[in-house]
Structure formats: C-alpha cells, structure tokens
A and B are shown apart, each in its own frame.
Chain A
Amino acid sequence: MSKKIFVSGDEAVAEAVRLAKPHVISAYPITPQTVAVERISDFVEDGTLKAEYLHVESEHSAMSAAMGAAAVGARTFTATSSQGLLYMSEVLPYVSGARFPIVMMNANRTLATPWALLSDHRDSLSQLDSGWIQVYCEDAQETLDMILQAYRISEDPRVMAPMMVNLDGFVLTHTYEMVELPAQAEVDAFLPAYTTINRMDLDDPKTVCYAAMNDYMEFHMKQELDMRKVPSVIEEVDRLYGDKFGRYYDGMVEQYLCDDAEVVLVTLGSVTGTARVVVDAMRKEGHKVGLVKLRYMRPFPREEILDIASRVRAIGVLDKDISVGYEGIVFTNVNSTVADLETSPGRINFIGGLGGRNISKENTRGMFNELLELARGEKKEKIQFVNARCEYHG
C-alpha cells in the first residue's frame, strides 16, 4: 500500500531512489542537492537500501564512477547542481555516447559569477546538447514519480540514454509537501531489475568507449534516430505509471486550459504552479489564457508545440535563463519549431527568475496581459525582462 509522507523535494528524491534500488550511488556535496544524497547515504548505512555509496572527491569523479558502474551493468544514481553539473559536463557525452542509462537528479541553481545560491535553469540548459534526456518537475510528488519513471524510460532497450531529472533548488529541494510514496512491491512490478547486453562481461569481453574514428558520424546518427523515438516511450511509460499509481503527467507537455486559448505561456519547472493559479484567476475574468507546461527539453516536444502554436494567436515563453548575446534558450527551441508553420503566432520571450529573482502572480499576470495585447495587434518588445530592477529596451 502506498502512504502519505511529509517531505522536502530532496527527501522525495531519496525515497524514490530507495524504491528504485540502484546498485551504486556516487555523489559529491553541493547546495542545494545535499539533503538528497545525505538521506540516500542514511539508507545505505542502515541497510534499507542495499547499494554501494561512493564518497568521491569531485563531481567529475561522481559521474565517472557512475559510468564505471553502469559499464558493468549496474543501475546507478548520482545527483548534483549548478557548478557541479558544469564540472561533470566532460563526462556527460561520454555516458550518453556509451548509451548508459544513468539517472541523475539536478537541483537547478544558477551559475557563477557573481555567486548566487538560488534557482534558475542556466545550469541544466547549458547541457542540452549532451545527449541526456531532460525532464523538469513542478513539485516534489512529480520529482519522486519522475525518478522512478526515469529508470524505466532510460533503461528501455529502445532508449538506452541517460536521464537528468531537474527540480528547482530551494523552491522544491527545501520546501516540504505531502507526497504519496508508492509501496515497494508496486514499484518492483513497475520497474523490473535492470538487465542489459551493453556491459562489460568476462564471458564475452568487449570494450566500452572505443575510438570510433570513421564510424563516429554513424554512431551519433543512430543516437539521434533512437532519441526521436523516445517521446513515444515517454508517453507509454506515463500511461503505465498513471494506470498503476494514479498520477498522469501528460507525457512530453501538459496543456492546461489550452483548447480554446487565444494566448498561452510556456513554463518550465516550479513556476508552473504560480502560472496555473494566474490562469485560473484570469479565466474567471473571461480571458482566454492557457498554460503550456514544457516537461521535457530533450527530446524536444516538437509535435505538441506545433499543434499548440497552430491554434493560438500569441505564445509567451518564460525563460529562467539567458543565452547572453541572443535570447532565452527555451525561446530559441520553441521558435525553431514554430518556424515550420506557414503562419506563426506572435511571440514574446519573458526572461525572469535569474539568480532566483521572484516571479510573482502579478508578474505572471503582466506577462499574460502583454500576450493578450499582442494578440489584439499591439506592438510589443520581443524580449522582455520580468521583475528587473533596472530599465531595458532591446
């Protein structure tokens, strides 16, 4: 039987990892990821989780050790955040190229300098091209569920790709909520033991990470072609999980009141919760606004975005990041998809939340108002900073 527990996002991750029964966990401490790995280390030390916990000396080693474990067929877990993720970045394409299904939690935190501790998405979005599947969670429950789904998705023989489960630092990692914890037997039924042919084996010796040289291009074409099939596996696992545990997340993208919407706002992560409340309030006032919760950034939900864009008059994209010298990273991704339409809707890129700057209900209402005015034909600035303390005209 499942039960309700009152936990932080970090603790929800630890509980999910305990249920997923990885063989090896390797991690290096970084705020705000630490509580998750501390709880996992408690589970390992008291025997609740039968696994090897490696105290490594850096994030680079954490991912390298996870890769070594995965190379002999172990189910592995690691966790990091911000600078730690960047320090791992050399190893990320190693893992995805070798097709090892490592699951990693990333507590989204901004990048230095200047130093800051709070959440934005600059860390994980800088690793979009690393060959990892990336999912973003709205709350602790979704995070717990996605850690479990992540193993099922990434270990699927059609996928064989590592997966990064992102949750906003502090906003999710350190706030407490009631979370439904599935029973071990049900998780075991959902997530069978990991078996793979992609491993080093004394009875069938082979090399991992060999120098491909002339086959390099075909190698990555195969990786890309496989990744294109991942959305259908994600949808399948989402249905399977929902049927078993009662929580469905709509796969690649959640569309909230989008059916008749004139304008929609695209969000990533915990800020979706704020936007949901604002959509409810504005709907009551008669505004046809909708919310697009982008759950996956890789693979990118091209079909869903095209479908939404073909129905609405304006799309806003809220980026908690910036590709300095251009625009928000999510905006670039949405834009390149929308470019496939013959007539595309109006678009505004809202850049907010950098370094953890608050995005309030009022700020979100302001974004919807800008979109509604754009839909009525008013001229709007394409890139707008939200809740900034200085003026900007681009």
Chain B
Amino acid sequence: MPRPEIIKWLRTQFFPHMWCPGCGHGIILHALLRALTDLEKKPEETVIASGIGCSSRMPGYINACTVHSTHGRSLAFATGIKLAKPELTVIDVMGDGDCSAIGGNHFIHACRRNIDITAIVMNNNIYGMTGGQASPTTPEGARATTAPYGVIDPSFDLCKLAEGAGATFVARSVVSNPKQCEKYIVDGIKHKGFSVVEIISTCHTQFGRRNKFRSPIDNINRVKDLSVSQAKAKDMTPEELKGKYVTGLFVNVEAPEYTDQYFSLVDKVKGE
C-alpha cells in the first residue's frame, strides 16, 4: 500500500485505472510519485505531460497540473509550458511508440536543446493500447500483430539515441528494479537540462501473450533476466549483449540549459 503522502498525489476518484492488472506502468507511476515526494515537490508547481497510448493515461491519475496531448507531441507541449514558466518542474511521460516513432522528431530536438524537462520513456516494446502492433523498440524476432512471424526491423536503443542527440542526463532501469527507477527519476528531475529516464516496462496482454510470456510475473522476470548492469556489460561481448537491457546512468554532464540561454538572450537584446 502506498504511503499516505503518495496517495495525496493520486486522483483516486478515477480508480480503478485502465491499465490491465499486472501492467508494468503502475510500478513506474509509484516510482514517479515516490520521487516527487522525496524531492518535496508541490502538485501546483509540477506539470506532467503525456501523448497517446497506455503510458499517456498516467497523468490523468496524478493530482498535479497535467495534460494529455496529441500522439508523439507531448514534448512540444512540455517545451511550451517550460518556456512560459521555467520555474515549474516539467515531466513528460511517454511510451516507446509515442517517443520513438510518431514523436521521434520532437524527442531528438528536445535532447538537442537541453531544455530542463525530465522525459520518462515507458518502454514496453509494443503498441499496447491499439492491440499489439510492432513499435520501433520491439526486439528483432519478437512477434506482434503487424509482424505475426517476427519483427525484422532493427530496434532503437533509446538511450544511445538520446545521448547522440545531446541529452545531458541519460539513464535506463527496469520495472523489476523499482528502487533504481525511483533513484533515476529523482536524479533526472534534479539535473538541470534534458533528462531521459528509459524504464523497461512490461505488457503481458499485448507483448507477452504473443511471445510466450503469458503472466505478469513471467514478463517482469523476463525484463529482470534480460537486464544487465552497465558495470557487468563492460566485460561482455556484443554477441552476449544482444537482446539485453543494459541498465545504469550513461550520461550526466553539465551544459547550458535552454530556458536560461533563451532568457539571457532576451535580456541581452533588450540591453539589460
């Protein structure tokens, strides 16, 4: 049972939630709320944006300033919010399809700008809400409704994509490690700049069912078994790492933040 201070962050009137029982996204919601509580954030100073998909229903259950925007565009909404009121804590929750397919362009440009937003990518390797179509992170060989004999498209490594595009904080965890999820969300929010926290989530209904991982526990065990810490991964060959989820903090560097740069430019142009 969550602590009372966490319950305060929930819109319990909207429960039961729409996620399937056993969905990994609930673990991420709890980790996010623990992080916000740990950081003593106030709901009225916290904005949570989302796009479309199972992941994107999360802000609806959170008692803060929340927006359920269009598919793939939540970072554009979040960018507008942060620029209008830089003092707010802005968090963007996305799914893998939302972040890396239809919203891929917004994702790389948010990384490039280094705007102080924390992007939590809930990667369950599938389009869950629409019925299990292959996403850009569905592992090669895995089955999906649009790939009944297995996916042949190589999948994205979202952390490498974020790093390559210029994000200044990049970390990955798995739902089987909720304490680590919470820690990376805390550190990501504290970091001044664009933070990407990818959390490997589970979808037994749409991914697991078609890939011989039927129950929620099977799916949580799957991501647990496939996760490898960054330290361990260093000593493994590329063949051994194939299909694994490497967890850890990959990037944590200081760089000029976008809204700071923007408002100092405004001051400069005004001659102040």
Which A residues fall within an 8 A CB radius of B?
28-31, 34-35, 37-38, 41-42, 45-46, 53, 55, 57-59, 83, 87, 112-113, 115
Contact = CB atoms under 8 A, between A and B. Distances in A.
Contacts of B104: 57
- 8 smallest beta-carbon distances between A and B, as pairs: A57-B101, A29-B130, A58-B102, A29-B133, A38-B145, A41-B146, A34-B131, A34-B130
12 contacts: A34-B130, A37-B146, A41-B146, A45-B149, A46-B149, A55-B133, A55-B146, A55-B153, A57-B136, A58-B101, A59-B102, A87-B102
A83 B153 contact: no
B25 interface: no
Interface stretch (B40-48, B67-75, B250-258): B67-75
B236 to A, nearest CB: 30
B71 A41 contact: no
Q: Which of A42, A55, A87, A115 has the most CB of B within 10 A?
A: A55
A31 B131 contact: yes
B131 A29 contact: yes
B184 interface: no
A117 to B, nearest CB: 10
B127 interface: yes
Contacts of B7: none
A112 B69 CA distance: 9
A333 B98 CA distance: 37
Contacts of A37: 133, 146
Interface string B128-158: 0111011010000000011111000100000
A57 B129 contact: no
Interface of B: 52, 68, 70-72, 101-102, 104, 127, 129-131, 133-134, 136, 145-149, 153
Contacts of B145: 34, 38, 41
Contact of B133 (A34, A58, A59): A34
Given A29-B133, A55-B133, 4 more contacts: A28-B101, A41-B145, A58-B72, A83-B71
A360 B52 CA distance: 31
A54 to B, nearest CB: 10
A48 B127 CA distance: 25
Contacts of A83: 52, 70-71
Given A29-B127, A31-B129, A83-B70, A42 B134 contact: no
Q: Which of B129, B130, B153 has the most CB of A within 10 A?
A: B130
B37 to A, nearest CB: 28
A115 B145 CA distance: 25
Q: Which of A31, A41, A46, A87 has the most CB of B within 10 A?
A: A41
A53 B149 CA distance: 13
A25 to B, nearest CB: 11
A88 to B, nearest CB: 12
A127 B204 CA distance: 38
Q: Which of A29, A31, A38, A58 has the most CB of B within 10 A?
A: A29
B147 A41 contact: yes
A313 B133 CA distance: 52
Given A29-B130, A31-B129, A38-B133, A112 B101 contact: no
A105 to B, nearest CB: 15
A35 B148 contact: no
